[in-house]
Structure 1
Amino acid sequence: MEVPLVTHEVGQYSVYPDLTEIPKYTGTLMPLNFMAVKEDLEKKGLIDKAPQYLQASGKLAAILYKEEIERALKTPGISGFQLLDLHDFPGQGTALVGLLNAFWESKGILTGEEFREFCAPVVPLLRFPKAVYTNNETFEAQIELCNYGKDELKNSTLSWEITADGRSLGKGKTPAAALAFGHNGGLGKISLPLQQVTNASKLEVCLSLDGTAYRNRWNVWVYPSSVDTKWGDVKYTRSYDEAMALLKKGEKVLFNSDWRTLQGIEGKFVPVFWSPVHFPNQAGTMGVLCNPTHPALADFPTDMHTDWQWWDLNINSTTLVVDSLQGGAPVVEMVDNFVHNRRLASLYEGRVGEGKLMLATFDLQTALDKRPVARQMLYSILNYMNSEEFAPTQLEGLDKIKDIFGTARNQKQSAKGIY
């Protein structure tokens, strides 16, 4: 191209409102939008969850902004990128797309230092094909670097290390004689066989430029290539009627309704775009919210928010609206957008009569030999259900949502597309 090419307003991933901002409006403007969200949460008994909604949606937005920015930096010939803004834009339809709030203050999502890992004058980069592996595979990545600093860099060294829970799995160094202005590709390779990872694990890959503060990090997940799934006395069904009959007999039931026929909200990996007020016809969720220490997730490494290992589960799901359920407890929630503030879940447990129920609305049945994340989630759930820790509280209202199971015909866009 003979003219500069700059990508325009990338990302625009919405973050749940930070209701602690309300008292900061001491001038002529009143935050009526935030006040309305607060009032709605108070009315629904969800106000205590507001900080978790902010963190879960914010962490996901930061992950996606990192991906957007790095894809731009890894594109040879591109001249730059624009964000809509680093801070929220309250002037048109409540566009909470900022990693900072409307006052240019931190939302507690990530620090300036963390942001500069992937958006700085010099950014170490990796190019690798996927974020999920089994331990009979090898992690391979190409080392790259983008240099928009003051000077071309001579006789540099890039160092990499892969760790799991602070334990080093491998490390190496790559010399770089010259790092010119712009994109520098093909600088070296990382290759690490993953057989040493015997349990489901989150790995961190760190790449740094020796003698400088420039470094960057990525998460990847490794799962066992074969899993000895023990069903024990858990009964599996995709039928509501069969689930209720089994529960009536006092059985442990994993009810995994087919998401393609489940009425609810389309399963998404990304949060709502820009403003759900201005663009109301969106699927409308804002990411996973869970407790990583819940025993049902003991064999499924996760943070409290969405990260790339949730891709397969989220896109092969329908999110359940659980406003009509009383008792029990969600294991994996989805954050609703701030226009609706509904209680949403993808994994929910409860005692129904003398039976014990685990309701999962992501696909835990199809092609598990090709879906290691779903297979691992099933393994973790079953280990929990077959333990003494599986003692859910009484659940009421399941009969009120009977008609949502098996009655829809959900169509989905290509799973390869981020939207």
Structure 2
Amino acid sequence: MPVMARFEKYNYVSGEGFNAHIELCWYRSYAPGRIKLQWKLAAGQRVLASGTANAAPPSRANYIDICELAIDMPAVDQMTKVTFALQIEGTDICKVYDLWIYPQQVNAGLKDIHLFEELSGEALALLEKGENVLLMPKPERLENAVEGFYCTDFWCYPMFRSISESMNRPVPVGTMGLLIDNSHPVFRDFPSEQYSTYPWWSIVSHSKSIIMDGTAKEWSPIVQTIDNFERNHKLGFLLECRVGQGNLLVCALDADKAGGTPEGRQFLSSLTAYMKSAEFRPRYEASVSELLQLIH
């Protein structure tokens, strides 16, 4: 007996309107009678907004239209995960949605760092001098990489790959979501689970993950895209290393497109804040030739 909310998206900025249509599907053996919905928007144990709504369903109705809700998201000064909870009073019917709120003005900070789209001579010279560099290759230019795709692969990659090939259709991307080192300081301003959640959707969709097959086991990506069992590539979405006297952070992301969303700006801001901090100290040291073999 699901109670459901229909809403436009999962990511919002401070003060933005949240509109939801609440409905219920009822298939129990008895008529529901009068229905009372309890709803709550909360950040942890702190209730941000709450209310109730009543509905009198038609006799023998399976679909029950409960109400429309309109809420202004609260002001936040940091990325904040909130829950939107629904409960039908007097029953065990409930549903909880995760939503995210971002500050109004977030500076991606890309103008404050050394940013390059390729590992150029200038970038290498800066690294040799001990500078910090962010390398963001344009995804469409990368060949040794797999397209970014948020949703996990459906059922059996080899079967659907062969079907797609036989029908001259695009082959599925075939990846299985993200493995995230969420304790890493790069996520100080972009708190995350160890797995893909909705703040990552638009970010991943404008990216590629670099194929790192054959690299040292010790070089573990901060964010690794999980490949399917047939290819089993080691895929780096976000990785770091020492190069010469400097430090390098690599993410094959289209920053212009990702920066068009609040979650994308927040992610970029977290990257650049980390790069400017004393915590940017990669453990693995990569040679220039090793990097050039990977990033092309």
Following TM superposition, the consecutive aligned residue runs of length 4 or more in structure 1 with deviations greater than 6 angstroms are none
- Tell me which of 140, 157, 168 is aligned to 1:276: 157
Q: CA separation in 2, counterparts of 1:395 and 1:323?
A: 17
Q: CA separation in 1, counterparts of 2:96 and 2:73?
A: 18
Any stretches of 5+ residues in structure 1 without a counterpart?
Answer: 1-121, 407-419
Q: CA separation in 1, counterparts of 2:151 and 2:108?
A: 30
The answer to whether 1:159 aligns with 2:49 is: no
Kept in 2: contact 1:152–1:178 (CA 8 A): no
- Tell me which of 269, 285, 290 is aligned to 1:379: 269
Kept in 1: contact 2:181–2:194 (CA 8 A): yes
The answer to whether 1:359 aligns with 2:250 is: yes
CA gap 1:303/1:248 in 2 versus in 1, 3 angstroms: same
What percent identity do the matched residue pairs reach?
Answer: 31
SS at match of 1:330: coil
Match of 1:6 in 2: none
Query: Alpha-carbon deviations, 1:363-389, whole Å to 9, x = none?
Result: 223472x31111101111111111111
Q: CA separation in 1, counterparts of 2:75 and 2:112?
A: 32
Matched to 2:196, the amino acid is T
Match of 1:262 in 2: 142
Q: CA separation in 2, counterparts of 1:322 and 1:243?
A: 21
Matched to 2:26, the amino acid is N
Match of 1:234 in 2: 113
The answer to whether 1:294 aligns with 2:175 is: no
CA gap 1:184/1:397 in 2 versus in 1, 3 angstroms: farther
Query: Alpha-carbon deviations, 1:338-384, whole Å to 9, x = none?
Result: 1222211110011111110100112223472x311111011111111
SS at match of 1:395: coil
SS at match of 1:153: coil
User: How many residue pairs end up in the alignment?
Assistant: 283
Task: Give the CA deviation at 1:196.
Answer: 2.7
SS at match of 1:191: strand
Task: Give the CA deviation at 1:321.
Answer: 1.0
Q: CA separation in 2, counterparts of 1:247 and 1:210?
A: 61
SS at match of 1:285: coil
SS at match of 1:274: coil
Q: CA separation in 1, counterparts of 2:258 and 2:151?
A: 24
Match of 1:343 in 2: 234
Kept in 2: contact 1:350–1:393 (CA 8 A): yes
SS at match of 2:78: coil
Match of 1:332 in 2: 223
Q: CA separation in 2, counterparts of 1:383 and 1:394?
A: 20
Q: CA separation in 2, counterparts of 1:352 and 1:325?
A: 15
Task: Give the CA deviation at 1:405.
Answer: 4.5
Task: Give the CA deviation at 1:230.
Answer: 4.4
Any stretches of 5+ residues in structure 2 without a counterpart?
Answer: 162-170
Kept in 1: contact 2:75–2:103 (CA 8 A): no
Kept in 1: contact 2:182–2:191 (CA 8 A): yes
Q: CA separation in 2, counterparts of 1:301 and 1:190?
A: 28
- Tell me which of 228, 231, 248 is aligned to 2:128: 248
Q: Over aligned residue pairs, what C-alpha RMSD do you find? A: 2.1
Matched to 1:354, the amino acid is Q
Q: CA separation in 1, counterparts of 2:288 and 2:82?
A: 39
Task: Give the CA deviation at 1:269.
Answer: 1.0
Q: CA separation in 2, counterparts of 1:232 and 1:266?
A: 27
Q: CA separation in 2, counterparts of 1:208 and 1:358?
A: 45
